């Protein structure tokens, strides 16, 4: 793995490089095995940013995939993009259902014959949840329970679900470890914590294999750059490509553990397939580095210059956002030791790949 230059005050695990050959070979071994062992996977939120990246990976492994999405935050264009990247026979392995996980009946219908569930459907964004906690609860709690119940009744082999680093709440300790969380600071954080509690109950009561993945600030291709609640990286990339003013919430020293989407895809497959992972467990999904918003801005600027785009607007600093934590950084030791997780990109390389994707997409849009 390329570790690159760590951001200031960053924390990176020195044994990642030492273990690289073993951990990466495990993931490659699993992918090779899947190519000759077709399973049926259900991906909820399949038209979303993360869901579509998971779909792409599974289809390239010749897997059968059922996907559901109501397009509240996902896009048909994401599915179309995946279609162009896989073969025609691989695309035929995908069955899409336009529907909503808030319907238990629909969840039962799509669950028929499914081996593995990768539950990604949710209403993301802390600000969105503060503006409309009822909608967040309906999608993230009611919808989660519907999918979990349908999976239990169908007897699926594994239930892997997306949770969030927001569950660490007001806990100040760094790096964040899975066994120590604080009080939630937003309805979104509360909804994800409830997901973890429900999964734990179903695992202990019904014997389900449930694995939660606490995502830390995921970014990459197909992430929405234009929505009201878009994440910082795609929003800034699009803003800077259009030479518009970038606004930072706070003083710019707020830091996050930014995680490339391919690491998330890897963890979903590992959590499903690795047999020595703990059932009824949660794992951090990150790279173990902390990057400030100012440093992030500089990385994006450098990546844009590599694409012959210069950005010279002055930064604008705004008030801190309600519900935001000051710093976030993950410990990924449990995921590495138990699931053989090995992050494959450092921030610099993954930002450059992401920026190049958006530059290409926006240039094609303007032709």
Q: Which helix (H) or strand (E) holds 210?
A: strand 210-215
Token reading at 335: 């995921």
**Active-site residue among 188, 260, 283, 341?**
188
Neighbouring CB atoms inside 10 A of 330's CB total 29
DSSP state of 314: P
Q: DSSP letter string over 41-110?
A: EEEETTTSHHHHHHHHHHHHTT-EEEEEE-SSS--HHHHHHHHHHS-HHHHHTEEEEE--TT-HHHHHHH
Pairing mode, strands 210-215 and 281-285: parallel
- Burial profile 15-31: b = 16 or more Cβ within 10 angstroms, e = fewer: ebeebbeebeebbeebe
Give the C-alpha separation, 130 to 106, whole Å.
Answer: 28
- Burial profile 240-274: b = 16 or more Cβ within 10 angstroms, e = fewer: bbeeeebebbeeeebbbbbbbbbbbbbbbbbbbbb
Q: What are phi and psi of 14, to 5 degrees?
A: -65, -20
Active site residue 188: yes
Whether 176 and 168 have beta carbons less than 8 Å apart is answered as yes
Whether 10 and 34 have beta carbons less than 8 Å apart is answered as no
Positions marked catalytic: 188
């Amino acid at each position: 793995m390329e570790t690159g230059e760590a951001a200031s005050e960053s924390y990176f695990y020195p044994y990642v490089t030492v273990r690289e050959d073993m951990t990466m070979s495990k993931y490659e071994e699993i992918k090779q095995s899947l190519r000759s062992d077709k399973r049926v996977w259900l991906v909820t939120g399949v038209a979303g940013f993360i869901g579509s990246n998971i779909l792409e990976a599974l289809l390239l492994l010749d897997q059968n995939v059922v996907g559901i999405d109501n397009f509240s935050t996902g896009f048909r264009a994401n599915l179309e993009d995946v279609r162009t990247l896989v073969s025609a026979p691989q695309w035929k392995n995908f069955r899409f259902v336009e529907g909503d996980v808030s319907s238990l009946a629909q969840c039962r219908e799509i669950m028929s014959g499914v081996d593995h569930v990768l539950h990604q459907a949710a209403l993301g964004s802390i600000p969105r949840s503060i503006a409309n906690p009822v909608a967040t609860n309906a999608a993230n709690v009611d919808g989660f329970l519907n999918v979990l119940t349908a999976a239990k009744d169908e007897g699926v082999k594994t239930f892997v679900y997306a949770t969030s680093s927001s569950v660490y709440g007001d806990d100040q300790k760094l790096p964040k470890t899975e066994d120590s969380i604080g009080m939630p600071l937003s309805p979104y954080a509360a909804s994800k914590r409830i997901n973890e509690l429900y999964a734990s109950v179903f695992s202990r009561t019904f014997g389900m294999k449930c694995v939660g993945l606490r995502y830390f600030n995921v970014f990459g291709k197909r992430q929405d750059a234009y929505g009201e609640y878009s994440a910082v990286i795609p929003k800034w990339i699009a803003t800077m490509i259009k030479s518009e003013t970038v606004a930072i919430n706070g003083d710019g020293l707020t830091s996050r553990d930014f995680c490339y989407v391919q690491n998330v895809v890897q963890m979903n497959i590992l959590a499903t397939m690795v047999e020595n992972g703990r059932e009824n467990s949660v794992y951090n999904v990150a790279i173990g580095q902390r990057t400030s918003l100012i440093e992030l801005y500089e990385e994006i600027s450098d990546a844009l210059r590599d694409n012959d785009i210069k950005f010279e607007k002055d930064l604008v600093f705004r008030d801190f956002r309600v519900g935001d934590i000051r710093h976030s950084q993950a410990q990924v030791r449990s995921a590495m030791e138990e699931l053989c997780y090995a992050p494959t990109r450092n921030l610099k390389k993954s930002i450059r790949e992401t920026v190049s994707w958006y530059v290409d997409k926006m240039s094609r849009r303007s032709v």
